[in-house]
Structure 1
Amino acid sequence: MAIDPEPPSRLASFAAPWQWLLLAALSLVIAVILEVAALPAALLIGPMIAAIAVGVSGATIRPAPSLFVAAQGIIGCMIVSAIEPALFRTLLSGWPIILAAVLSTLAASSILGAMVARWGSLPGTTAVWGSAPGAASAMVVMADAFGADARLVAFMQYLRMIMVSISAALLARIWVDTGDLAHEAIEWFPRLVVPDFPMTLAIAAIGAFGGRMSGIPGATLLGPLVLGIPLHLGLGLDLQLPEWLLAASYAFIGWTIGLRFTRPVLLHAARSLPQIVAAIVVLIGFCAAIGAVLAATFDVDPLTAFLATSPGGMDSVAIIAAASGSVDLSFVMTLQMTRFLIVLLVGPPLARAIARRMSRGSS
């Protein structure tokens, strides 16, 4: 079933600068409201919600892909700055449990995707690809090559990212005492340190854009890690990430995700939306149960374990973990990266096999 073209809207008739101004203003208002409510990652969630609102209202603006890549490079550097040598010992000592957690998540998402495809009204094998817990971009490309509806796959992938981001931020608000953090003054424009700041920008740019040139899905986030971790841990390089740079990166990531939601896509997915949302909620709950096991095994707090196992995007999870204050960002991102690499290798072939099996069964 084809998706109907975007209907004309009053917002679409506005010039691009006015649309950007509206998006920026709405993002600021929502972010301030969330900050006042002490919700972690308000600088990500606010722009994301604002982008969904203007996207559904017919906005035609989209962030340049290069800005999204640059933003992921900055988030990669933020992850690098949180990595500690002691974590690798933890990872090596508990690798059987971590591997079991990753494979369990992959199996659960595959089963849920097959169930949505069987019981829902999504065309073809779209639900299988949309439920796969891999890099969203990788799954969209693979789905399109296999004949599934790529736009609906993107809708499912990014809807899950949004639901995970909001649920994780709400849980962080409940579990983390932000009373002291709320009174800490944020230095938005600190003195830039040489060579720390220039090296941070270089690692972000070379790692992210080099990763994109490699053609490997997710390499825009992994590139800065591959380049930065040896420099940070081996040579003792300190990365400087001023708040204004992080806030801009959060906004571009939130806008890129939110603007993918348009009215035609939402209307097309409306019939299957209850099944899609139910599958995402079940998957989040399943990952939370795995997180409870990890919390007891590795002696980490429940929020750290939840973020480490949550089926959202690595960049959004990293932002929420960093904004939560007491979360062990190093532990969260090590597990997220481990799952990402395994899913990157196993996810597309597994989804393709399930999709092919379902196609034979329905023929």
Structure 2
Amino acid sequence: MDEGGTADAAGRGDPGRWERFRRIAWARWALLVATTVPLTLGLGALGVPSPALFAGLIVGTVLALLGAGPARVPRPATSAAQAVIGVVIGVLARTDTLSAVAANWLPVLLVSLGTLVASMAAGLLLGLQRGVSPLTGMLALTAGGASGLVAVTRELGGDERIVSVIQYLRVGLVTATMPIVAAAVFGAGHVGVGGGTESASAPWYLGVPLLAVCCVVGIPLAEKAHVPAGALLGPMVVALVLSLGGLTFGATPPALLVDVAYAVIGWQAGLRFTRAALRTVVRVLPSATALILAIVAVCAGLGLVLSATTGTSFLDGYLATTPGGIYAVLATAISSGGDVTFVVAVQVIRVILMLLVAPFLARLVGRRWGTAQA
């Protein structure tokens, strides 16, 4: 008998038992939320990227392993979270930023594609590990939009438990090594790493109708076009078009909604953890770390190519092609006196390109080599 049938039977046979069941279910969610909030604040104070997502992943995993968490996150909640993250990414594209690379669009595009190929090839190598499918490996090491990729992994057929841990291992390694490389190799001056975002130029409440428009228009269009990961890509594309058209008026989704969306994505992955899944993740971490460092090295080489073909400094080329941590890249570029507009423009193009291409390539990989098992 399914869960609903069990609940109905409990309600008919013993109303008190059903009430206790409901209280326990609410208690599990209350515990999940109550432990995620303070951890999010703590990780945010430490400058951890996407602290709500990371906190949700940690808390969800711990509670799942203890048998104290909810069984799963409802699908409408994950779809809504994907939509919020899609809009956040879409509004990053602005005409004043992208115009910085207009004259050099071809080398920028080719270098971005090179980053995509390098990271996905490394992911397929990771897929040779026992317990990791090629699809999961590819999504885990694709360098672009970590939160977006984690959000859509299960929908694409991958194992979001492995993808979430390795994606944020990538972001963490890139963020940690970036100041050292920038100073030691490229001679950057004062270099600092920050985890914050740029302030929105419009009041927070204007972000709510922006979010609503992007979802109401984007999700049905994506469904009609049979686009993979439509809950994320549909609103993202609408937000991108509105932003490039100057129709967002500086609005972005409210920070609180963004944090909730990140937490939901973290819970989605964390609550599915089992001891067997945890052992698999721990086993692949050494090889994943080596592959991430290899991707960083390849992207640094691509940064030198970008510098040579566009006339920018070696430091700007390196920062523009660094595979992850866009806000840490922004902070490093600002503090080192780099060409911030150029660096951010290339990074935004990379993230959007990855998120547009990755779901379609993931579908092809899943068809050819199979998908992860739940």
TM-score by length of 2: 0.65
Q: Cα offset for 1:233?
A: 3.4
Cα distance change of structure 1 residues 97 and 321 upon mapping to structure 2, 3 Å threshold: closer
Structure 2: distance between partners of 1:225 and 1:171: 30
Q: Residues 175-200 of structure 1: CA distance to partner in whole angstroms, max 9, x if unpaired?
A: 53659x79x9x99xx6735xx63243
Contact preservation (8 Å) 1:41, 1:324: no
Q: Cα offset for 1:341?
A: 3.1
* Correspondence for 1:242: 254
Structure 1 residue 75 and structure 2 residue 85: aligned?
A: yes
Question: 294, 310, 322: which one pairs with 1:282?
Answer: 294
- Deviating more after overlay: 327-336 vs 133-142: 133-142
Question: 164, 168, 192: which one pairs with 2:205?
Answer: 192
Q: Residues 130-157 of structure 1: CA distance to partner in whole angstroms, max 9, x if unpaired?
A: 2224656877677x6xxxxx6xx44433
The size of the alignment, in residue pairs, is 317
Question: 168, 191, 195: which one pairs with 1:162?
Answer: 168
Cα distance change of structure 1 residues 78 and 39 upon mapping to structure 2, 3 Å threshold: same
Structure 2: distance between partners of 1:14 and 1:277: 42
Structure 1 residue 335 and structure 2 residue 346: aligned?
A: no
Structure 2: distance between partners of 1:156 and 1:91: 37
Q: Cα offset for 1:235?
A: 5.5
Contact preservation (8 Å) 2:82, 2:152: no
Letter in 1 for 2:258: L
Structure 1: distance between partners of 2:54 and 2:151: 20
* Correspondence for 2:64: 55
Structure 2: distance between partners of 1:248 and 1:219: 20
SS at match of 1:241: coil
- Deviating more after overlay: 41-50 vs 263-272: 263-272
Structure 1: distance between partners of 2:59 and 2:138: 27
* Correspondence for 1:202: 213
Cα distance change of structure 1 residues 226 and 351 upon mapping to structure 2, 3 Å threshold: closer
CA RMSD of aligned residues (A): 4.4
Letter in 2 for 1:192: Y
Cα distance change of structure 1 residues 330 and 48 upon mapping to structure 2, 3 Å threshold: farther
Bigger radius of gyration among the two: 2
Letter in 2 for 1:26: T
Structure 1 residue 261 and structure 2 residue 263: aligned?
A: no
TM-score by length of 1: 0.67
Q: Cα offset for 1:333?
A: 2.7
User: Within 5 A, what are the aligned runs for 1:28-67?
Assistant: 28-58=37-67, 59-67=69-77
Contact preservation (8 Å) 1:203, 1:228: yes
Structure 1 residue 19 and structure 2 residue 46: aligned?
A: no
SS at match of 1:94: helix
* Correspondence for 2:9: none
Structure 2: distance between partners of 1:115 and 1:253: 23
Structure 2: distance between partners of 1:351 and 1:138: 14
Q: Cα offset for 1:224?
A: 1.8
Structure 2: distance between partners of 1:172 and 1:114: 25
Structure 2: distance between partners of 1:33 and 1:279: 30
Contact preservation (8 Å) 1:74, 1:246: yes
User: Within 5 A, what are the aligned runs for 1:245-324?
Assistant: 245-268=257-280, 271-287=283-299, 289-291=301-303, 294=306, 297=310, 301=316, 305=320, 309-310=323-324
Contact preservation (8 Å) 1:77, 1:225: yes
Letter in 2 for 1:79: I
Cα distance change of structure 1 residues 330 and 47 upon mapping to structure 2, 3 Å threshold: farther
Structure 2: distance between partners of 1:258 and 1:303: 33
Q: Cα offset for 1:213?
A: 6.0
- Deviating more after overlay: 107-116 vs 334-343: 107-116
Q: Cα offset for 1:73?
A: 1.9
Structure 1 residue 176 and structure 2 residue 192: aligned?
A: yes
> What percentage of aligned pairs have identical amino acids?
21
Structure 1: distance between partners of 2:275 and 2:358: 31
* Correspondence for 1:102: 113
Structure 2: distance between partners of 1:57 and 1:42: 22
Q: Cα offset for 1:44?
A: 3.0
Cα distance change of structure 1 residues 163 and 292 upon mapping to structure 2, 3 Å threshold: farther
Structure 1: distance between partners of 2:248 and 2:133: 44
Cα distance change of structure 1 residues 202 and 165 upon mapping to structure 2, 3 Å threshold: same
Q: Cα offset for 1:287?
A: 3.9
Q: Cα offset for 1:220?
A: 2.3
Structure 2: distance between partners of 1:252 and 1:322: 26
Structure 2: distance between partners of 1:321 and 1:246: 21
Letter in 1 for 2:192: V
5+ residue gaps, structure 1, are 1-11, 145-149, 311-316, 357-363
Question: 233, 240, 253: which one pairs with 1:222?
Answer: 233
Q: Cα offset for 1:295?
A: 6.7
Structure 1: distance between partners of 2:351 and 2:292: 18
* Correspondence for 2:137: 131
